Amino acid sequence: MALVTNDFATPAELTDAFAGRILGILQHAIVEKGSATLVVSGGRTPQPLFAKLAEADIDWSKVTITLADDRWVPVTDDASNDKLVREHLLVKKAAAATFITLKHDFVDAADAVPACEAALADITLPFDVLILGMGEDGHTASLFPCSEQIAAGLDLNSQKKYIAVQPTTAPHQRMSLTLPALLASKNIFLHLTGQSKKDVVLDALQANEIDKPIKAVLDRATVNLMWAP
């Protein structure tokens, strides 16, 4: 499919423009169908974007927000994406949004997959907005190339929306949307800063095989790269 590159001079300019893009899509979805869905990723990159979105004056009560993935840690743990979203996105005006957590009360993430599937059952796919991040290893969401679960996570025939992942190059068990679930999105954004990550994306585009999970998304969807140095 296609990579649409949107380069910005600074992360601040990226944040402002990206927030505007997202809010426009959400607002259109609310007007068109009375609701909107936003899937966000965790990590460090999205925090300024979350702060910008949280201040926006749209009808957040019509928006459902969930995570592309989470670390299998208590939601009080600083590594938790659930905590990140609750502290930086579900505040101010965006506090009125509905949030679907991935973190259920199971010791092992694998035991929580049915609960995650059930929690998402009432959401009509495709998602309106999906925001992906990426690691230097080309992982996206928690589809890690190092994990034993990567083939299952990238299986386009999977009927599952979630998969429990045990990366070997990153801490914590993870819960992640599967590739087919990620691709069930009307607008897919890849939110990156720094030249090295951009180079990973450009190399993945040129690669002949899917050696990096991000390529599985790039090959099958129109991805809007939102990038700043």
Ligand X SMILES: O=C(O)[C@H](O)[C@@H](O)[C@H](O)[C@H](O)COP(=O)(O)O
Residue 43 CB, shortest distance to ligand X, in Å, is: 3
d(CA 194, CA 50): 19
Report the residue number, 62 or 174, with the smaller CB distance to ligand X: 174
Q: Where are the beta strands (DSSP E) in the chain?
A: 3-7, 36-40, 63-67, 69-71, 98-100, 127-132, 162-165, 174-177, 185-193, 223-228
| Residues β-bridged to residue 69 | 176
Spacing of C-alpha 142 from chain mean position: 9
Residue 208 CB, shortest distance to ligand X, in Å, is: 24
Q: In terms of C-beta density within 10 A (0-12 exposed, 13-18 middle, 19 or more buried), how is residue 100 classed?
A: middle
Report the residue number, 133 or 180, with the smaller CB distance to ligand X: 133
- Chain contacts with ligand X (rule: CB under 6 A): 41-45, 68-69, 71, 81, 133-135, 139-142
Residue 139 CB, shortest distance to ligand X, in Å, is: 6
Residue 79 CB, shortest distance to ligand X, in Å, is: 8
**Closest residue (Cβ) to ligand X?**
133
Residue 53 CB, shortest distance to ligand X, in Å, is: 16
Report the residue number, 44 or 159, with the smaller CB distance to ligand X: 44
d(CA 194, CA 159): 35
Report the residue number, 79 or 207, with the smaller CB distance to ligand X: 79
| Residues β-bridged to residue 129 | 38, 187
Residue 45 CB partners (closer than 8 Å, separation 6+): 133, 191, 192, 193
Peptide bond into 213 cis (omega under 30): no
Report the residue number, 42 or 145, with the smaller CB distance to ligand X: 42
